[in-house]
Amino acid sequence: MTKSHGSLTGIEAKIEYHPVFEELGGLYESWKRSAVNWMQTEKLSESSVEKRLMKKFNIQWAWADSIATEATQCLNQLKTAKKNLIYKLELQIKAKTTATKKLITKLEKTLKLATKKGFPHLKARNKFFHQLLGLKSKIQKIASLKRKLKQLKNTERLHICFGSQKLFNAQHNLAENGYKTRNEWSDYWSKKRSGRFFCVGKSQPGGGTMLKVFPLQKDGKYQLQVQLPRPLQDKYGQKIQLEFSVSDRNGKYRATDLDYAINNLKPITISIFRREHKQDNWYIHLSTYVPEIPVVHTRKNGCIGIDFNAESISVTYVKWDGNIEYLEEIPYKWKNQTTGQRQASMRNIVCRVVKLAEFFECAIAIESLDFSKKKAKMSEESKVYNQMLVLLSTGIFRETLESRCRRFGVELIKVNPAFTSLIGMINYMAKYGLNSGTAAALVIGRRALNLSEKIPKCLLRPEDVNKHDWSHWRRVASFIKLHRVQRTQLFQWRKTLEGILTHSLWAEHQLSVPVHIEMGE
């Protein structure tokens, strides 16, 4: 049974510079590339790679262990990336095939009418030929994707370019990429492929073997001891001592966490690296363990539902009985923002939501959404929609929310996203005067509390009485999708859904494309 050390946390700080960093960073990354190559070409195990590293480069076991561990992680990431790319290509082929079939059907109908009556005007004729050319392009793209998928599946060796493929290709066009000479490019290439070393933590004094952290000194700084690899000991000595400081900030008790890890002999995995965008300063990152925070804010006191929209994040607090007590619309800017600005904005929103959960002493609920299918269909959507899908930092939001909920003892519940917006608009939007986002957040909160959402009786058919509630909502979603009903129209949903209210007319409104419960669309 694996020993549980507690909750994993990261602590980062600036560290004083030492000349050995440059050489050790370059050697370490070179040894790691060799390890990855051996694992791929010779199919060596992690233990075999450790032995070869020790023998070939004359390094201690602890350094070899860290290098082999990172090489194994690198290969596992490559395998995962290959699997994800195969899945993405399959989704793209499926989406483009469906779109192509629809276009063929549309062109057939247009051609039949044109054969009988001719094109009504020149614009219609030009549109037909433009769509015909688009059909040819789609077919060629599907064939290209299938070739790429076949080639990827048949590829055994996984390729990776340390230093980035973009920088590697820059050597062929030096001037266009801002390099005066090849030597200038070569220096930058070497710099990108170095500047980092790493050591796996162990449960012993100092938290590691080659890199050890010692308790707080009188001057308020921590001491780091680096035991150098043998090839560097003649020049720099067997060990070097460095200092760094850790301060608490943004509600993170980093110094307290590090003190706990040192005093309780927790393993401390240490990485030292250069940050080029911060004047090439060197930093230390410590991954260690702190005590697990018990979950104290649960759904017993209700739940905060969160709905992620394009321009804002809707937050609704639902009491244990299912009634709404508090709502808030938090604006979110994603246009004309850098990646760092979007991520910082997301983290600020997460802090705000978790503080609300602490205030109400309740849980938080979010939708369990997978955007991989949506992103696979991006080429079939509008440019504005694709830009929004790419720039929205949903992944950062969810990861940050999960981390902060664990840190503050807040229960996080992931619910099925099926029809949350639709249910909110019909059952609660007009009733409480909400917008579609806050109404959906209300449904998410209620679903986390295991409260059911009945469809209005006037929308039921006699033969559907004994069916699951979601089958009723699926019918309504199909009607709305078929007739492209706008959200604002659902403030008067009885009038908008009169086709469903008249049961005898329902047969005329069946949708050929199924509505997916998993994605709620």
Q: For the chain, which residues make up each domain, given as ranges?
A: 299-453, 457-521
Q: In this structure, are residues 207 and 265 in contact, taking their beta carbons and an 8 Å threshold?
A: yes
Question: Phi and psi of 214, rounded to 5°?
Answer: -110, 160
Q: Who's near 481: CB < 8 A, 6+ residues apart?
A: 511, 513, 515, 521
pLDDT in tens, the chain (521 residues): 345 667 888 899 999 999 999 999 999 999 999 999 999 989 999 999 999 999 999 999 999 999 999 999 999 999 999 998 999 899 889 988 988 998 898 888 888 888 888 888 888 888 888 888 888 888 999 999 999 999 999 988 888 889 889 999 999 999 999 899 999 999 999 999 999 999 999 989 999 899 999 987 777 889 999 999 999 999 999 999 999 998 876 556 788 889 889 999 999 999 999 998 888 999 999 999 888 888 999 999 999 999 988 778 899 999 999 999 999 999 887 777 777 788 888 888 999 999 999 999 999 999 887 655 555 555 555 555 555 555 556 777 888 899 889 888 999 999 998 889 899 998 998 888 888 899 999 999 999 999 988 888 777 777 667 777 778 888 888 888 877 888 878 888 877 777 666 644 444 444 434 434 333 34
pLDDT digits (tens, 9 = 90+) for 415-424: 998 889 899 9
Q: In this structure, are residues 305 and 445 in contact, taking their beta carbons and an 8 Å threshold?
A: yes
The burial class, CB within 10 Å (0-12 / 13-18 / 19+), for 12 is middle
Question: DSSP letter at 172?
Answer: G
Neighbours of 247 (CB within 10 A): 9
pLDDT digits (tens, 9 = 90+) for 306-322: 998 877 889 999 999 99
Q: Out of 3.30.300.90, 3.30.420.10, 3.40.190.10, 3.20.20.70, which CATH number does the structure's domain 299-453 have?
A: 3.30.420.10
Distance CA 478, CA 118 (A): 34
Question: Phi and psi of 42, rounded to 5°?
Answer: -105, 0
Query: What are the tokens at 17?
Result: 């510079």
